[in-house]
Amino acid sequence: MPGSGSGLSVQRCLTFTTGLVECLCFAGAVFGWASLVFVLKEEGYFSSLCVNGTGVNGTHVLDCAGQDEQFSLIFTIASFMNNFLTLPNGFLFDRFGTTVTRLYGIFLYTIGTVMVAFSTSALAILLFPALSLLAVGGILFLMTNMQVGNLFGSRRSTIITLYNGAFDSSSALFLVIKLLHERGIALRSSFLFLSACSVVHLLRTFFLLPRKLIPYPLPDNYTYGITCGKSDNRIGEVAENGGAQKVEEVPLNKDASAKQEKSFRDCLLSRFFMWHLLWLSVMQLRHYLFIGTLNPMLQRLTAGESSLVSQYTNAFAITQLCGVLCAPWNGLIMDRHKGKPRAEGESEQEVDLRATVLSLFLTALQCLLFSICASTPYLPLQYLTFVLQVLNRSFLYGGNAAFISVAFPSCHFGKLYGLVMALSAVFSLLQYPCFALVKVLDGDPLYVNIGLTLLSLLAFIHPLSVYLHCRSVSSQRVKNKAMTQSS
């Protein structure tokens, strides 16, 4: 049909662009918690937990350790729910598809924003469920958008990492709310506006996304609305505007079929999954502890000077905007081999897997450098810490999703992504004992930071394991080729 190709291209571009905006402006807002905490403290949330204390020189100071502990606990629970509930949400996504999953996510996100909007210093307890709902709803936005990368085959990893970078950058949303609050815009007004934006999410769900899942590899003349299956079924659907048939088809590809034969249990028990889980867990714990303790850390390094705390909090939030710029670098690293000829007998998955080694290694190296800077109690150095943190975070989550999409069958993506996030969430619960230990050490996180820096060294095992696997497969292929030629 004339013009149908260009119409399809426009639809895909709109799907990609609106998905990027959704991830950038809404999905990961909860990780801008440090900016929101500044506003909540000004509004008097949990202020009853502040007590009069005695300073070093015998002066009277206000000790708000109990208040900080409540804010840290809210973030710990929200970040745990963000990851742990990704497991059932992954099963929901694989089983019921995009529309059902997004409607559920929009519902949770809307309820969360309404709860924050109507919370007060007297109803500060509402922040506990509200932040968790925002976190879970946000990760569902990301999960349902990452499949858009399947529409752009040669740039699949780049788009997946770009969306994850946008997710990281959306933590700057709370910075915008903080700046608006400083200019007289009430916290309630900001969050009611976010609630109203759910109408846009609903429109996008029904008009710019498939009802089920987007397959990979993408079949020719693909139109939205197919499920992840094993045959080339065609389902005709008469369009309301003129009797044209909408073809829904599932790819029948030999390489893809061979890859699909791997069961979910085989994926779960594989060495790749185990080391990938460790890789994600240790680095995620480092990030969560940093974000959760950023405000008290800045209070300590600035000797409680409010203007400096605000300045560094703003700087941290602004650097988060750079996540959307940093993440595609990781995708380009993973897609750098696309379009190049493969060695004889080399599968596409083998090439894709080999391309992940550099990405996994660089991510672990960034985390080590970030952790060293964060452990150094020197205030100006924290600007560099913020840069390394956003760079590493954008590489971490984009690389996590991209690696799972490369190493395992696409029909298991939702379940495996959900499971690795859920298990890493259980590991991230260690942040609360770390918070408690910092409190025991009179608020000095130095020794805890050193311990986490040493722990982050474990992340280097994963890229080494993948490299050794790829080298073994390559050697075996060369050996088999030599045996075939000799016979």
Taking the CA atoms of 465, 469, 475 and 478 in sequence, report the sign of the dihedral they define: negative
User: What distance in Å separates the CA atoms of residue 324 and residue 162, rounded to the nearest whole number?
Assistant: 6
Task: Say if residue 255 is exposed, middle or buried (CB neighbours under 10 Å; 0-12, 13-18, 19+).
Answer: exposed
CB 295 within 8 A of CB 306: no
Instruction: Please name the residues in contact with 418: beta carbons below 8 A apart, sequence gap of 6 or more.
Output: 86, 87, 88, 89, 90, 91, 93, 143
pLDDT in tens, the chain (487 residues): 444 556 568 888 899 999 999 999 999 899 888 889 989 999 999 988 888 776 656 666 777 878 888 998 898 899 888 888 888 888 888 889 899 999 999 999 999 999 999 999 999 999 999 999 999 999 999 989 988 888 887 777 788 888 988 888 888 899 899 999 999 999 999 999 999 999 999 999 988 888 888 877 777 777 774 434 433 334 333 333 333 333 333 333 444 444 446 788 888 889 999 999 999 999 999 998 898 788 888 888 888 888 898 899 889 888 877 877 888 888 888 877 666 677 776 777 788 888 899 999 999 999 999 999 999 999 999 999 999 998 998 889 888 988 998 888 877 877 888 889 889 888 888 887 888 888 788 777 888 899 999 999 999 999 999 999 988 888 888 787 777 777 6
User: What distance in Å separates the CA atoms of residue 282 and residue 347, rounded to the nearest whole number?
Assistant: 31
Q: What is the SS3 string spanning 310-374?
A: HHHHHHHHHHHCCHHHHHHHHHHHHHCCCCCCCCCCCCHHHHHHHHHHHHHHHHHHHHHHHHHHH
CB 334 within 8 A of CB 169: no
pTM above 0.75, yes or no: no
Distance spanning both ends of the chain, measured CA to CA: 53
Buried-state track 143-159, b at ≥16 Cβ within 10 A, e below 16: bbbbbbbbbeeebbbbb
Q: What is the pLDDT of residue 253?
A: 40
User: What distance in Å separates the CA atoms of residue 10 and residue 468, rounded to the nearest whole number?
Assistant: 43
Instruction: Please name the residues in contact with 28: beta carbons below 8 A apart, sequence gap of 6 or more.
Output: 138, 142, 167, 168, 169, 170, 171
Task: Say if residue 364 is exposed, middle or buried (CB neighbours under 10 Å; 0-12, 13-18, 19+).
Answer: buried
Task: Say if residue 269 is exposed, middle or buried (CB neighbours under 10 Å; 0-12, 13-18, 19+).
Answer: exposed
Calculate Rg over the CA atoms of the chain: 24
Residue 290 vs residues 167, 174, 408, 431, 445: alpha-carbon distances, Å: 18, 17, 31, 9, 10
Domains of the chain, CATH where assigned: 9-215+268-470 (1.20.1250.20)
User: What distance in Å separates the CA atoms of residue 442 and residue 448, rounded to the nearest whole number?
Assistant: 12
User: What distance in Å separates the CA atoms of residue 178 and residue 185, rounded to the nearest whole number?
Assistant: 9
